[in-house]
Structure 1
């Protein structure tokens, strides 16, 4: 790569570790030249004193100003598209804890958008400033939550640098004449302002159709500042992101450059066949008939058989749920034939129990009065 890439990264990291304002004004949301983003340290301290009220005229800490605000002075992302269509992501986050004594940071990466599914794998984390960087992942409804530090880790203060690396499978979408990547490089779940975001896109083919927008929603937000430094890599920058604002990159590659598999989608919620659906219908009708027959005084199975059917049905439902949810997450659950069979047994058992509860067999015997 040309030397400008090394220069660009060095300036960004230097700016991130230098004192920057805790929150950028709203007018700074529009793209600005890179040179304007890196003010001298003395000017930054002065601006910070004016905005936050945290420093007095002599440079001492004031106690009458607002509480310190956490922020991300610099957020550097590299999106590298592998020839196998895997998206390799490296995020370098400079986080300013403002003396709050937090235990780490939390990054949420989506693995589901609508019915579209992605695979987030090979998560690795580190810290160049010595902060605790043990990674823990948790699959939520739509996101994979990556916790860096946290838990029993020692609290950290001031500015810390974290590196999060992971791979995304299934991020590219195949088309008739092209393959496309649409990805939010920083996500929209950050609750703190971001001073300067830099996104670098790398591909195994010349990048001719690449765009970047920032905001909320990022797909229709402000155009990022573009800095091309080579045919196979393009850099974008955006300054003054408010909490909840993201940076969405759209890349279009010629067909055949990468091997893009078909997208993976979540299964429909109703995955039962006609046999399973018919079984459930018959069980429902049978339950009503058994309950009514028993309530009218007719013979019906024992109460224990009803309890056994309810237990067996519940176990079948749990087995069907676990078969979907454990490997693919909670959103992947669907009603299959196994679940329908379990519901059928549970309904039949519930009908027997209801008949015993309302039938004459459960009523107290009538004792004749003594003369």
Structure 2
């Protein structure tokens, strides 16, 4: 009996030592900060500060998957991602860029170097095409955090800064999390006179596969609207099937006109 009790204590002690000796191996993001500068032409200049915690797992780096396509109704909008750079606390990092089904994959790291523990990644890039121009308002659509991360993310903060302060009554905004959730908090930086220079969205945490989605609507005139022909050409480029149907329609009209002309000529000959 005494021996059994002694063995239990030894076993418990071994488990306790193992618990404290082994480091945490689960990967997670400790904090995710995003700053988005919105230019007067609707371009987004994005800076992401990602505190990646690899735990005890050795990795060569991470893959940041940037969504580059969204839909509204039957219309698809392609985002153009450019001017990408990546760094950490020690300077610039090597990376490669690839494209896959409406996604931009930024593979960060050196295949000859492994990392573990906490690594601070800083991504910078430019986004064009995130604004949907309407008749009475222009809508900004952007996912501050995409849904492609496989692990949990804590302390999410997305700050949108405007090229010029905007009247509070000329802007509306929303923040979603996952399928039906909403952000923990939304705040504006009021500089007086009813003018807003920043909108800040925060979220305590999200699970792997969830994202943080931001939508803003500006009254017409705050952003410079491209010429109608530019908007149309870009929309056709993003939705090539529109061009296909346009060509089919033109051909159908031409065939109908030719047939109509033949019928008219035939009637004239008969008379």
* Bigger helix fraction: 1
Tell me by how many angstroms 1:237 deviates. 0.9
Q: CA offsets, 1:16-70, max 9 Å, x none?
A: xxxxxxxxxxxxxxxxxxxxxxxxxxxxxxxxxxxxxxx958983249xxx7210
Larger relative contact order, structure 1 or 2 (CA cutoff 8 Å, min sep 6): 2
| Change in CA separation of 1:270 and 1:91 when aligned onto 2, cut-off 3 Å | same
* Bigger strand fraction: 2
* Pick aligned residue for 1:215 from 177, 190, 203: 177
Structure 2 unaligned blocks of 5 or more: 1-14, 191-195, 253-271
* Pick aligned residue for 1:116 from 67, 77, 87: 77
| Change in CA separation of 1:228 and 1:180 when aligned onto 2, cut-off 3 Å | same
Q: Distance in 2 between matches of 1:138 and 1:82?
A: 26
Give the match's secondary structure for 1:268.
helix
Match in the other structure for 2:42: 85
Structure 1 unaligned blocks of 5 or more: 1-54, 279-371
Match in the other structure for 2:202: 237
* Pick aligned residue for 2:244 from 271, 286, 293: 271
| Residue correspondences, number | 217
Q: Are 2:170 and 1:197 aligned? A: no
Tell me by how many angstroms 1:131 deviates. 8.0
Q: Are 2:74 and 1:101 aligned? A: no
| TM-score, with length taken from structure 1 | 0.53
Task: Judge conservation of contact 1:124–1:165 (CA < 8 Å) in 2.
Answer: yes
Q: How does 1:1-371 map to 2 (within 5 A)?
A: 56=16, 60-62=20-22, 68-114=25-71, 115-128=76-89, 130=90, 133-150=93-110, 152-203=111-162, 204-206=164-166, 208=168, 209-217=171-179, 220-230=180-190, 231-261=196-226, 262=231, 264=235, 265-268=238-241, 271=244, 273=247
| Change in CA separation of 1:246 and 1:260 when aligned onto 2, cut-off 3 Å | farther
Q: Distance in 2 between matches of 1:244 and 1:58?
A: 31
* Bigger Rg over Cα: 1
| TM-score, with length taken from structure 2 | 0.71
Task: Judge conservation of contact 1:172–1:260 (CA < 8 Å) in 2.
Answer: no
Tell me by how many angstroms 1:211 deviates. 3.1
